[in-house]
Homo-oligomer: A and B are copies of this chain.
Amino acid sequence: MGRKRLQESVDGRPTVHTVAARAGVSIASASRVLNGVGGSPETIRKVRAAAAEVGYVPNAIARSLQSQRTGLVALAVEDIGNPVYVEMMRAIEAVVASSGRQLLVHATGGRIDNETALLRRLANRYVDGMIVSPIRVTDDHLTALVDSPVPVVVVGQLGADAAVDNVRTDSRHGVALAVDHLVATGRHRIGFVNGPLDTVPGTARDAGFRAALTHHGIPLDEDLIEVGDFQYAAGREATQRLLARTDPDALVCANDLIAVGALHALLAAGRRVPQDVAVVGMDDTELARMMFPQLSSVSLGSAERGRRAAELLLQRIADPSLPPRREQVPPSLAIRASSGTTLPAPRPADPPTNHPSSEGVTS
Binding site for B on A (CB under 8 A): 10-11, 13, 55, 57-62, 64-65, 68, 70-72, 74, 80-81, 83, 86, 89-90, 93, 102-107, 109, 117-118, 120-122, 124-126, 147, 149, 232-233, 236, 260-261, 263-265, 267-269, 286, 290-292, 320, 344, 346, 348
Contacting pair A80 B61 (CB below 8 A): no
Contacting pair A62 B60 (CB below 8 A): no
Partner of A124, one of B10, B57, B81, B103: B57
Contacting pair B121 A60 (CB below 8 A): yes
Contacting pair A107 B106 (CB below 8 A): no
A253 to chain B, nearest CB (A): 13
Q: Given A62-B65, A80-B86, 18 other A-B contacts at CB below 8 A? A: A11-B320, A55-B147, A57-B124, A59-B65, A59-B125, A59-B149, A60-B121, A61-B64, A81-B90, A90-B107, A93-B109, A103-B107, A105-B105, A232-B286, A264-B290, A264-B292, A265-B346, A268-B344
Q: Cα distance A292–B239 when bound, in Å?
A: 15
A-B contact pairs, 20 of them (CB 8 A): A11-B320, A57-B149, A59-B65, A59-B124, A60-B121, A60-B126, A61-B61, A61-B65, A61-B126, A62-B125, A81-B90, A90-B107, A102-B106, A103-B107, A104-B104, A260-B290, A264-B291, A264-B292, A267-B292, A292-B292
Q: Cα distance A130–B50 when bound, in Å?
A: 28
A340 to chain B, nearest CB (A): 14
A106 to chain B, nearest CB (A): 6
Q: Cα distance A65–B197 when bound, in Å?
A: 44
Q: Cα distance A291–B61 when bound, in Å?
A: 46
Q: Which residues of B contact A124 (CB under 8 A)?
A: 57-61
Contacting pair A11 B232 (CB below 8 A): no
A234 to chain B, nearest CB (A): 12
Q: Which of A70, A104, A320 has the most CB of B within 10 A?
A: A104
Partner of A61, one of B10, B57, B125, B268: B125
Contacting pair B106 A60 (CB below 8 A): no
Q: Cα distance A64–B122 when bound, in Å?
A: 12
Contacting pair A105 B107 (CB below 8 A): yes
Q: Cα distance A20–B320 when bound, in Å?
A: 27
Q: Which residues of B contact A107 (CB under 8 A)?
A: 89-90, 93, 103, 105
Q: Which residues of B contact A104 (CB under 8 A)?
A: 74, 104-106
**Number of copies of this chain in the oligomer?**
2
Q: Which of A64, A106, A121, A263 has the most CB of B within 10 A?
A: A64
Contacting pair B68 A65 (CB below 8 A): no
Question: Which partner residue on chain B sits nearest A94 by CB separation?
Answer: B109
Q: Which residues of B contact A70 (CB under 8 A)?
A: 61, 126
Q: Which of A61, A109, A122, A348 has the most CB of B within 10 A?
A: A61
Partner of A126, one of B11, B109, B126, B320: B126
A163 to chain B, nearest CB (A): 15
Q: Cα distance A236–B126 when bound, in Å?
A: 42
- Given A11-B68, A13-B149, decide whether A80 and B60 contact each other with a Cβ distance below 8 A: no
Q: Which residues of B contact A62 (CB under 8 A)?
A: 65, 125
- Given A81-B286, A267-B292, A346-B269, decide whether A125 and B60 contact each other with a Cβ distance below 8 A: yes
Q: Which residues of B contact A109 (CB under 8 A)?
A: 93
Contacting pair A106 B105 (CB below 8 A): yes
Q: Which 4 A-B pairs have the closest CB atoms?
A: A268-B346, A60-B124, A104-B104, A61-B125
